């Protein structure tokens, strides 16, 4: 499967699942060596899960298929430029490359505006619209120290 075919599949998923009433107009596929190993569509409203974006669903499926959290060697094709959550997940999954069709401006034009979140991330914590309180605890630091010293940890 070449990149054009993979992108067309992501867009086809967005169209099929939107028309079926299975969520918003977003689709994604994860590809490894020219083969799709994960597909996803937006399922926020049908799964009652604000994290069930197309990219997240495709990443979860690909990780399950590979039996690992590390998708190095894979690429993701998504019908729209990812929101900040999905973009972070793409980095965390270590995907080699991302391709997208529609832009975040295109999404904003139809009512899916991620500009607030993109803007909030750039602000200092005290200036964000969501109140955030730092509550340092010695117990929390000890857990981190235990992780640092843990000899059988699986790094990620």
Per annotation, catalytic residue among 55, 81, 120, 146: 55
Q: How far is CA 17 from the centre of its chain?
A: 18
- CA–CA separation, 136 and 47 (whole Å): 35
The total number of residues written for the chain in this structure:
156
List the one residue out of 71, 85, 87 whose CA is nearest residue 36.
71
**Is-catalytic flag, 55?**
yes
- CA–CA separation, 17 and 122 (whole Å): 33
CA atoms within 13 A on the CB side of 96: 8
- CA–CA separation, 37 and 74 (whole Å): 9
Residues annotated as part of the active site = 55
């Amino acid at each position: 499967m070449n990149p054009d075919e993979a992108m067309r599949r992501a867009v086809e998923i967005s169209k099929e699942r939107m028309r079926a009433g299975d969520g918003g107009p977003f689709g994604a596929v994860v590809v490894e060596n020219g083969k799709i190993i994960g597909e996803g569509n937006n399922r926020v409203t049908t799964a009652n899960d604000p994290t069930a974006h197309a990219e997240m669903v495709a990443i979860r499926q690909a990780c399950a298929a590979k039996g690992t959290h590390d998708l190095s060697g894979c690429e993701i094709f998504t019908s729209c430029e990812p929101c900040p959550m999905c973009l972070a997940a793409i980095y965390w999954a270590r995907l080699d490359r991302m391709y997208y069709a529609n832009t975040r401006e295109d999404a904003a034009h139809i009512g899916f505006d991620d500009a607030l979140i993109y803007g909030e991330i750039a602000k200092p914590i005290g200036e964000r619209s969501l109140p955030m309180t730092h509550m340092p605890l010695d117990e929390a630091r000890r857990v981190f120290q235990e992780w640092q010293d843990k000899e059988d940890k699986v790094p990620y």
